[in-house]
Amino acid sequence: MELFIHRRDRDVELVQIPDDSTVGDLVNLLGAAESNAYPEGAPEAAQLSAALAAAGITNRSNVYVGICRKVEVSVRYQSETKQYEVPPSTTLQSVFDRAASDGEGFALSPADRAKYTLQVFGTSEQPDLSRHVGVFVNDSCVASFDLVLQDRFQG
């Protein structure tokens, strides 16, 4: 089985593991003792003793592996900041949608939503929104972003 692994401060890795492995086997294969594994979109970590399939991890699944159980995400837009608590396997697309929404976010118009993206706070990095928020955490399990105009490449 092939899995896409997301970890803090790393690019997405494609890992091969036998189909009959457990979640603990995956964590050990990655040399990530003390870590948990979160299938993409899962609210909680998978049990280390669970078979991959029983944990909802199938071939080519996206899995976040790391020590954070929850991530405090802050998104800044203009002079205002919104904060959310999410599992580390939450995609940046989900964070962006929340930050752009009327209810919990900055109420961006559909036209503005098409122009804006998330940028890692303090950098010029505008990561792909399919990345997991846990990739961008600090030692305190906090991830911070700015809501900015997308970099557009003219060809």
C-alpha dist (Å) from residue 117 to 48, 50, 96: 35, 36, 7
**Domain 2-66 belongs to what topology?**
Ubiquitin-like (UB roll) (3.10.20)
Helix (H/G/I), strand (E/B), else coil: 55: helix
Per-domain residue ranges of the chain: 2-66, 71-149
pLDDT at 154: 53
Q: Specify the pTM.
A: 0.91
Q: Which residue has the tokens 């961006």?
A: 108
CA distances from 19 to 7, 16, 40, 89, 117 (A): 21, 9, 18, 21, 37
Q: Which of 3, 28, 6, 4 is nearest to 17 (CA)?
A: 3
pLDDT average per 10 residues of sequence, the chain (155 residues): 96 96 97 94 95 96 96 97 97 97 95 96 95 97 97 64
Which tokens in the block code for residue 14? 């494609």
Tokens representing 127? 């990561």
| Amino acid (1-letter code) at residue 48 | L
CATH class belonging to 71-149:
alpha beta
